[in-house]
Amino acid sequence: MWRGTATAASAARALRSRLLADPIHHPSTAVLPIASVRAACSVPSAASPAPIVAETAAASVAVSSGARSASDVLRHYGWCYWELSKARLSALVVATSGAGYVLGSGSIVDIAGLCYTCTGTMMVAASANTLNQVFEIKNDAKMKRTMRRPLPSGRISPVHAAMWATSVGAAGTALLACKANGLAAGLAASNLILYAFVYTPLKQIHPVNTWVGAVVGAIPPLLGWAAAASEVSLNSMILPAALYYWQLPHFMALAYLCRDDYLAGGYRMLSFADPTGKRTAWVSLRNCLYMLPLGLFAYNWGLTSEWFSFEATLLTTGLAIGALSFVLHPTQKSARRMFHGSLLYLPALMAGLILHRLPNEQNEHNIHQTSEIAGVLPGAEESARQKWEDPKPSRAQSRPPVAYASVAPFPFLPVPVYVSPQAHEF
């Protein structure tokens, strides 16, 4: 037992001497363990902030990547909604609706009401255009002009687009109902149904779809008039009639220019059965001639001044000359010239209407009556309350009409002297 213990002790000493150098024979290596211990103690103090810095950098990268991805998603869907709404076409619809609102207003245009009407019209138009593309995915995929739209290209799903159309259409109709009136909201909802569920499927059935689409385009200015005047009268039909007749030469020229593309998409247009283009051109010229008396009607019906009748006749004559050129020479060049002329005609006509408009007297009369009923006019509410409290007029309150003859325009008349009511008691 002792031998074993001594052997174990000697083995331990030999191992220790091998691990720790002798400070006498090896002085340079004797301090290595101490130095290594010091280094080991000092390294953690310098390297300890490294994991914290790495974690902070990773967190910042994750946050920035998340913000970038959220921004990309918003940009993607925002651009898809913009294209689904056909923003430029919807802006034209809003312009016609705003013009109708101004024409239907009195001497003072309600700016807040105009903004609400334009916003609601924009939302309903965006909904109608989106539903149009939802129903025509396969047709748009066959046409070069429309194959890059969000639905044919697969950038957005049909269900997502339908939900967008439903929500924005309902919101726009509700906005018109709350901030304008029920007549304007009803016109907007009916136009949405007519465009999405009548005109859209009819495009693949019969060429009469162009005339139905012209009715759809004529309703927005009537909507604006109804929002301002709360009624539809005879003179409110001037701008809708102009838009109806204007759309036919405009779209006839477009259908002639894009005849092959419409044929590939499966749409039934008048130009398909008209290889020479004569019939298409005659339809354009006929509807241009229908617009000639509209300026005179606008003046006779009290909508504008006489200057507008002269300006509208000149504008319509210029458009009719373009249509006549299309009739005489039914070519791509003449059709394109008439199409560009129609693009200039509409804003010029609406600008002339607004510039030379006369206040809607019927609207001012309605506002006056509404104010009297509501007691908004100065003194109306107070006089009604006094009549209710004291139905018998007192002798002090009754004054002869001649009392007001002393003011302008008769300042030369003497001011009447009244006897106070207290004098009659004595």
CB 257 within 8 A of CB 333: no
Residue 41 has pLDDT above 50, yes or no: no
Residue 310 has pLDDT above 50, yes or no: yes
Handedness of CA 181, 182, 186, 189 (dihedral sign): positive
Indicate the Cα dihedral angle 90, 93, 95, 97, nearest 10°: -130
Quote the percentage of the chain above a pLDDT of 70. 69
- What is the Cα–Cα distance from 128 to 216, expressed in whole angstroms? 11
pLDDT score, position 365: 55
Q: 374: exposed, middle or buried (C-beta count within 10 Å: 0-12, 13-18, 19+)?
A: exposed
Structure tokens at 335: 């059709």
pLDDT score, position 398: 44
Distance of CA 116 to the CA centre of its chain: 10
CB 91 within 8 A of CB 75: no
**Domains of the chain (ranges plus CATH)?**
70-232 (1.10.357.140), 233-360 (1.20.120.1780)
Quote the percentage of the chain above a pLDDT of 90. 58
- Least confident window among 26-30, 121-125, 334-338: 26-30
pLDDT score, position 238: 95
Region 133-158: what's the mean pLDDT? 91
- Locate tokens 């309902």: which residue? 170
- What is the Cα–Cα distance from 216 to 236, expressed in whole angstroms? 16
Length of the chain: 426
Residue 169 has pLDDT above 70, yes or no: yes
| Chain segment 67-92, per-residue pLDDT in tens | 678 888 888 999 999 999 999 999 99
Region 370-386: what's the mean pLDDT? 49
CB 151 within 8 A of CB 133: yes
Measured CA to CA in angstroms, residue 399 lies from 385, 394, 395 at distances of 20, 10, 8
pLDDT band at 304 (very low <50, low <70, confident <90, very high): very high
Secondary structure (3-state) at 400: coil
Mean pLDDT for the chain?
80
| Chain segment 258-299, per-residue pLDDT in tens | 888 888 888 888 888 888 889 999 999 999 999 999 999 999
Radius of gyration of the CA atoms of the chain, in A:
41
Looking at the DSSP bridge assignments, the partners of residue 25 are none
- What is the Cα–Cα distance from 247 to 182, expressed in whole angstroms? 27
CB 377 within 8 A of CB 371: yes
- What is the Cα–Cα distance from 256 to 331, expressed in whole angstroms? 9
Q: Is the bond leading into 409 cis (omega within 30 degrees of zero)?
A: yes
pLDDT band at 313 (very low <50, low <70, confident <90, very high): very high
pLDDT score, position 45: 46
CB 274 within 8 A of CB 306: no
| Chain segment 234-250, per-residue pLDDT in tens | 999 999 999 999 999 99
Q: What is the pTM of this model?
A: 0.71
Question: Higher model confidence: residue 302 or residue 31?
Answer: 302
- What is the Cα–Cα distance from 58 to 53, expressed in whole angstroms? 9
Region 300-322: what's the mean pLDDT? 94
pLDDT band at 64 (very low <50, low <70, confident <90, very high): low
Distance of CA 377 to the CA centre of its chain: 36
Residue 33 has pLDDT above 80, yes or no: no
Structure tokens at 165: 């159309």
CB 134 within 8 A of CB 158: yes
Distance of CA 40 to the CA centre of its chain: 70
Region 219-232: what's the mean pLDDT? 95
How many other C-beta atoms are found inside a 10 Å radius of the C-beta of residue 146? 18
